[in-house]
Amino acid sequence: MPSWVIVFLVTLAYLAISLAVGVMSGRRASSSTEGYVAADREFGFLIMYFIMGASIFSAFAFLGGPGWAYSRGAAAFYILSYGTLGLAPWYFFGPRVATLGRRFGYVTQAELFAHRFQSPTLSGLLALVSLVSFLPYLTLQMQGAGYVFNVVTEGRMPEWAGAAIAYGVVLVYVYYSGVMGVGWTNTFQGMFMMALAWGLGIYLPIKLYGGVGAMFEALADSVPEMLVAPGLDAAGNVWTWGGYCSAIAISVMGFSLWPHYFMKIYTARDVRTLKKTVVFYPTFQIFLVPILFIGFSGILRFPGVEPADAILPTIITSLGLPAVVVGLFCAGALAASMSTGDAIVHAAGSILINDLYKIWFRPEMDDHSQRRAIRFLVIVISGVAYYFAVFSDYSLVYLLLLAYGFIAQLFPLLLATFFWSRATRPGAMAGLLAGCLVTVLWNVFPALQWQQIHPGIWGVLANVFVLVAVSLVTRPMDEEHVVQFVVR
């Protein structure tokens, strides 16, 4: 039997297991919208730990992490930095969000903000911002899945067909099981990725250099600049500390407020489970350490690989490894793609129905109709993302970076929601719009850049200034309403 057939069969076996886990787990949730979107608020520590960990380690991380280490050296440590700090803000606002979610029945992020500022317009605006941010993120996951199948079959299967197979599986279990299917498949996929990452991350340096220590000694002798922080930028020049630190800051703000992560606060069984997840979450970064080892191992042994993100499959396919091992690698890359894509497509459908359609067009929508509409949008959003993945030539990586700048604009809104009673509805709206506008301007006109500081940082500064200024010159909100949200 040809080796590529064995690799393909191993990959299909992984997909079959994921589908079984995803569909069967849906039986544990109620048939209500709360069950479909928030798992009846019953996720324990194990599921919370893996649903957050596996969701962030996407195809971009599994392939892009080694690519950063291979092409930019120490700059890749930025990924460890923001991943470690990413959930830290949850420790301070997460319990409040969870408590209010149970009290008022929130299942999405925008429901909280719209209620605090008594603004249906804000709810719809946040839903649109979420959708614009989600689409390039989901599209990248589909492209990664298609690439994996193309590699698995040695080019025999086109990328569009591979993406269709992988996300056909995702669509089935998300459609039937909602967030319960997302949670249990992410647990399975997270464990699988951890085992695979450590296996490859230790094996490859040993195979190519004789050990991890020997690998870094060889790098220190030949290319010491690759090991000196903050590393290199995308153009191969030294990355400034301003660029490095601002990238971490904007990523932390965006990480903690991505709607599909934020919504998982509502799924926690209790506040203790949520805090425990935040405290232990940095340990999930241990998964990324061997991923970076893989990239570093290719610097001297496989020079000139283009694009840099192809370094991991290049190494794997060049060492004559058994077909089963190559198949497991391909399944791991699929796990990285699917564990992020399923959370995004589920959240996108939930947000558009709960925060836009229901608020603006059908306030009287009953629970059954709401769940049915979410399922329908899960199919539609998957189809739109699939179109961009297969047929579009747009620069999606650029759009994704822009999306992080947009999502970070929710951070001042969050602080105002819980820590400043004087914040008003006009101030919140004006601040959000000003922050998004400045972020766009700084991306469109690179001449405005200074010290490579991320454009989203300038957007956040403008956001805070406008939010405070407009709030101070507009009428305060009803104190009896505001006191329900502001931490005393």
Total residues belonging to the chain = 488
> Do the domain assignments include residue 402?
no
Residues 451 and 416 in one domain: yes
Residues 144 and 172 in one domain: yes
401 pLDDT tier (thresholds 50, 70, 90): low
Calpha distance 37→178 (Å, rounded): 6
Provide the domain count of the chain.
Answer: 2
Task: Give 234's contacts (C-beta < 8 A, 6+ positions apart).
Answer: 72
- The alpha carbon of 146 is separated from its chain's Cα centroid by a whole number of angstroms, namely 19
Residues 54 and 163 in one domain: yes
The whole-number pLDDT of residue 323 equals 83
The whole-number pLDDT of residue 298 equals 93
C-alpha angle 368-264-455 in degrees, rounded to nearest 5: 115
Residues 86, 414, 241, 301, Cα dihedral to 10°? 30
Mean pLDDT of 391-416: 74
Q: Answer with the residue of higher pLDDT: 257 or 50.
A: 257
Residues 386 and 418 in one domain: no
Q: How many other CB atoms are there within 10 angstroms of residue 482's CB atom? A: 19
Calpha distance 302→319 (Å, rounded): 11
Residue 468 contacts residue 488 (beta carbons within 8 Å): no
Residues 108 and 253 in one domain: yes
> Do the domain assignments include residue 271?
yes
> Do the domain assignments include residue 404?
no
Q: Answer with the residue of higher pLDDT: 423 or 447.
A: 423
The CATH number that applies at residue 251 is 1.20.1730.10
> Do the domain assignments include residue 317?
yes
399 pLDDT tier (thresholds 50, 70, 90): low
Residues 244 and 363 in one domain: yes
The whole-number pLDDT of residue 221 equals 94
Nearest alpha-carbon partner for 165 in 436, 1, 402, 390: 390
The pLDDT tens digits for 359-395 are 888 888 887 888 888 888 888 988 888 888 887 765 5
Residue 79 contacts residue 68 (beta carbons within 8 Å): yes
Residues 451 and 388 in one domain: no
422 pLDDT tier (thresholds 50, 70, 90): very high
Residues 228 and 367 in one domain: yes
The whole-number pLDDT of residue 108 equals 86
**Residue where a domain stops, chosen among 347, 366, 396:** 396
The whole-number pLDDT of residue 205 equals 94
Calpha distance 302→286 (Å, rounded): 25
Average predicted confidence (pLDDT) for the chain = 85
Which tokens hold the place of 116? 């605090």
Residues 385 and 430 in one domain: no
Q: Which domain holds residue 58?
A: 3-396
Which tokens hold the place of 475? 């009428």
Which tokens hold the place of 456? 């989203």
pTM of the model: 0.82
Residues 387 and 432 in one domain: no
Residues 390 and 449 in one domain: no
Residue 383 contacts residue 348 (beta carbons within 8 Å): no
> Do the domain assignments include residue 401?
no
The whole-number pLDDT of residue 450 equals 77
Residues 185 and 255 in one domain: yes
The whole-number pLDDT of residue 393 equals 63
> Do the domain assignments include residue 311?
yes
55 pLDDT tier (thresholds 50, 70, 90): low
The whole-number pLDDT of residue 213 equals 94
> Do the domain assignments include residue 25?
yes
**Residue where a domain stops, chosen among 375, 396, 417:** 396
**Residue where a domain stops, chosen among 348, 372, 396:** 396
The pLDDT tens digits for 167-215 are 888 888 888 888 888 888 888 877 887 888 888 889 999 999 999 999 9
